[in-house]
Chains A and B, each alone.
Chain A
């Protein structure tokens, strides 16, 4: 047995996460995304200053999993709710955590206008190209020919259009200060995602405008894959439709991320 004095704690639960077991399926990357956000808040010492707005979708209980003040928005309305909070409490950090059905479909108006206003909030956009909680229906972000429970023969782009690329779209808005896409499919990309989340929150702290980190994520259950297959599917199929990169980094934000 190693004496306690010689033990070094090298890894632990971030203070910004609660000890609850999550409802996420095995292999789902929501857990990774939660941890990255919590680590960033801990490192910036913002836990006591932060208000999280949870979405409708698999992350509907996010307000329970984060050890933060939190609210649960109506489907797609998290950016509007966050706007209301931020306008009343401008010195607090306000985050929305939203999936692709929530943000890119029913909530597309709210996210565009929050970005257009330059609302100094930070959005964590978890894109797994499918509706998870309702059991795997097609999302605006589903890939061409992707089989879902509402596109059983594969997404027919002639009938339903091409995947919606939200980061590219929001990057065109002057109010957006920091819009980047990262992926959670391997450790190197997870580390880059963490750095982007830190920057996005700092962009908010400095009042530079709207910030969003899109995270390519997995849904092994609804994709019908093992967790390992799902990670490979992100790499092999999602990256070409959703290229990783910095879509908008304002000059002031660039100084932060440098």
Chain B
């Protein structure tokens, strides 16, 4: 395989094709529209399903129907459109259906703007619409990682019969980088729960309804047991210079990548700073972060929002070290230099305290 210069949105689309995505339903919204545009010709050329829906509401419900047939299916959107999909996500979640949803986050709240943001962290990690549920959430920081995580997303969705969200920001969606596309995957066999017509078997029925309290609680317990397995098996993160770090900088996606530059600059200045970049936002890589919190003097969370992952960091660190925050909001992108300023100030205060 060779590396190609690929735009994030297009790379995700082609990775989904190669991962065996049989159907895509979507609606145009910046900054993810290239994904839809690319698939509009690519899927048709391959004899697969592409349909531009009348709304994000319709798109996610088309995905819901398509997922019922047992095929690998996907949609993509950006923050306001992703909000419109919440109801459908909840139904898909409560029907134990695998599917992949890409959220290329933009500045908000409201119509906001089309600039990169990480303001949907709560929305993607805390629930899928209403009810007790967490999707698996993957957060790439490079175009290559976006490709790899697209394939992983389909595999995890099928393995757990679970909703998987690929959460990136407009920066990665719009950026071009050299990256390698994945191998083509063979189609998995049609699962035995799929609705395909009840020929020579009892009817299959897919519903998210459990009218009696005991049935509904038992179903919720089933979801929670699955989430327990997911939390035990799927926490993923990347580290830099954590062996001797006094200050641990923590960021995901683009913010984590920019923070990595700031950490390199700090290291050149002789500061003992490390980086922890969560690749899964759910399950949050709490186990490893808790270990690191034992050995550092302080943590600095960097996000392109008002401090949302910050909550998960505080829960994982659980008082083992002070947790500070630096964030930019509404589509503003932090510069390595301003993160470095905060790093220097925190390192200075750590030594003053000593």
Using a CB–CB distance below 8 Å, which chain A residues touch chain B? 47-51, 53-54, 60, 63-64, 66-74, 77, 80-89, 92, 109-110, 113
Contacts and interface: CB of A to CB of B under 8 A. Distances in A.
Contacts of B66: 84-85, 87-88
Contacts of B71: 88
Contacts of A68: 197-198, 203
Contacts of B65: 53, 71, 73, 80-86, 88
A41 to B, nearest CB: 11
B69 interface: yes
Contacts of A60: 209
27 contacts: A48-B200, A49-B197, A49-B199, A50-B197, A51-B196, A51-B197, A67-B203, A69-B203, A69-B204, A70-B206, A72-B208, A72-B209, A73-B61, A73-B65, A74-B64, A74-B88, A74-B91, A80-B61, A80-B65, A81-B68, A83-B51, A85-B69, A88-B23, A89-B196, A109-B57, A110-B57, A110-B61
A67 B55 CA distance: 32
Contacts of B23: 84, 87-88
Interface string B16-60: 000000110100000000000000000000000101011101110
Given A51-B196, A74-B91, A113-B58, 9 more contacts: A48-B198, A49-B197, A70-B195, A72-B205, A73-B65, A81-B65, A84-B63, A85-B65, A113-B53
Given A77-B61, A84-B67, A71 B205 contact: yes
Nearest to B195: A69
Contacts of B25: 84
Given A85-B65, A87-B23, A87-B51, A80 B58 contact: yes
B87 interface: yes
B198 A84 contact: no
B58 A69 contact: no
Nearest to B206: A71
Nearest to A47: B198
A95 to B, nearest CB: 12
A74 B206 CA distance: 12
B62 interface: yes
Contacts of A87: 23, 49, 51, 62, 66
A86 B71 CA distance: 12
Contacts of A47: 198
Contacts of A109: 54-55, 57-58
B64 A84 contact: yes
A151 B200 CA distance: 49
A67 B199 CA distance: 11
Contacts of A84: 23, 25, 61-69, 73
A49 B57 CA distance: 28
B195 A80 contact: no
Interface in B81-112: 87-88, 91, 95
B58 A77 contact: yes
Nearest to B202: A67
A87 B51 CA distance: 9
A187 to B, nearest CB: 30
Contacts of A81: 61-62, 64-65, 68
Nearest to B203: A69
B43 to A, nearest CB: 11
A92 B71 CA distance: 15
**Max count, chain A CB within 10 A of own CB: residue among B62, B63, B65, B91:** B65
Contacts of B185: none
